Amino acid sequence: MKNRLKVLRAERNWNQADLAAKLDVSRQTVTAIETGRYDPSLPLAFKIARLFNAPIEAIFSDETAGDHMHHLAKSTHQDA
């Protein structure tokens, strides 16, 4: 999954330690999420969304969703 966490954090002039403290996680966790090496659990994703006052899909985007939609559209077209 891709995310805009680094951008949103930078807009608020927060460093990783600030964000980690607000989310009650370690700085290592914030780094891992920002670099895309770790996808947070749903509860943490909701917590992040609440903190930035934005819907989850405005922060996280599914990289494979485009391909999935393409295959879905293709199969629907073939069925018709």
Surface-to-core class of residue 53, CB atoms within 10 Å of its CB (0-12 exposed, 13-18 middle, 19+ buried): exposed
Between 14 and 31, name the residue whose CB sits nearer to another protein.
31
Question: Which of 11, 17, 28, 65 lies at the binding interface for another protein (CB under 8 A)?
Answer: 28
Q: Which region, judged by CB under 8 A, interacts with another protein, from 3-11, 38-46, 51-59, 69-77?
A: 38-46
Q: How many CA atoms lie within 13 A of 74 on its CB side?
A: 6
Which residues, including other chains, have CB under 8 Å from residue 14's CB and lie 6 or more apart?
22
Between 14 and 38, name the residue whose CB sits nearer to another protein.
38
- Residues near another protein (CB under 8 A): 24-26, 28-29, 31-33, 35-38, 40-41, 44
